Amino acid sequence: MTTIAPASTTTARPRLLPYALTEFRNNILYPDTIIFTILLPLGLYLTFGAMTSYGDQPVGNGNVAAYTMICMAVFSVSMSATAIAGGSAVELAGGWGRQMMLTPWGLRGYYAVKAGCALVTSLVPLTLIFAAGALTGARCGSWTTWAASYALCLVPALPFSLYGLAVGMWFRSNQAVGTATASLSLWGFLSNVFLPLGGVLLKIAHFTPLYGGAMLALRPLLGDVVITSDGEVTEPLWQPLTNLIAWTLLLALICVASQRRAMARR
């Protein structure tokens, strides 16, 4: 007699990788991502950093081209973090979270994919801008300055992920998230990132959400120096750190308040 083995009742757990690759492809190929997150910061660096007559003038441990490169990299990372986090909030508000709860991954898988996608998507414009800087005469002194600046350019992703989440959770529309992403151009001007400020505008810059992250990313190049329209000024480390921590906590509280508001409605 022959016996027939019972069919296995277990099934292979689906992998997150195909979902993650799909999310990354959709985000990186989205027209707004290509234009505003990649091409715009890269074009601004080439126009105001690499192609200027003053791009090779010394600044800190490098030159003006390197200064502009870091500023535009910070801007691109902030744009990417805002767009992806805001889009996630809108998806969850629209019921995608309930769909994900029906999968073996649950919301943990969703958040893991979104976090990984945000990081990789942010690395794309950041790496392109630094590569363009290396090829077009940006000088950052030693390789440690290059590495530290590259790593610190990712710091603004934390507060601006919360910024995108807050907007997406409160207004729950892609138009609102698009407006939040576009508002980063205003924060760039008011945060001493697009051009050096002075006087009252420089004082205002210390209270804007992009200032802390941008000044921290520039510290490997400039040290305690901040470039202003009135010349160089010295700024202690605690000032950009305080700005970064304060905005991160404030935006986190807004996200928590929005979550409680949504739960109360249910």
| pTM (2 d.p.) | 0.87
Per-residue tens of pLDDT for the chain, all 266 residues: 445 444 444 445 567 777 778 878 887 888 878 888 889 999 999 999 999 989 999 999 999 999 999 999 999 999 998 888 887 777 776 776 677 776 777 667 777 777 788 888 889 999 999 999 999 999 998 899 999 999 999 999 989 988 888 887 787 777 777 888 888 989 999 999 999 999 999 999 999 999 999 999 999 999 999 999 988 999 999 999 999 999 999 998 988 887 676 555 55
Distance between alpha carbon 186 and the CA centroid of its chain, in Å? 15
Q: Which amino acid is at 249?
A: L
What is the Cα–Cα distance from 74 to 217, expressed in whole angstroms? 8
Joined tokens for residue 218: 């520039």
Q: CA geometry: angle at 58 spanning 56 and 212, to 5°?
A: 105
Helical H segments across 104-223, by residue range: 106-135, 143-152, 157-171, 174-190, 199-205, 211-222
Give me the residues paired with residue 105 across strands: none
Inter-residue contact 28 to 121 (CB < 8 Å): yes
Task: Supply the DSSP symbol for 12.
Answer: P
**Under DSSP, is residue 9 helix (H, G, I), strand (E, B) or coil?**
coil
**In this structure, how many other beta carbons lie within 10 angstroms of the beta carbon of residue 263?**
8
Inter-residue contact 123 to 115 (CB < 8 Å): no
Q: Which of 110, 136, 113, 118 is nearest to 45 (CA)?
A: 136
Q: In angstroms, what CA-CA distances link 115 with 19, 44, 52, 122? A: 13, 27, 37, 11
What is the Cα–Cα distance from 125 to 122, expressed in whole angstroms? 6
What is the Cα–Cα distance from 73 to 252, expressed in whole angstroms? 24
Q: Which of 221, 220, 266, 214 is nearest to 243 (CA)?
A: 214
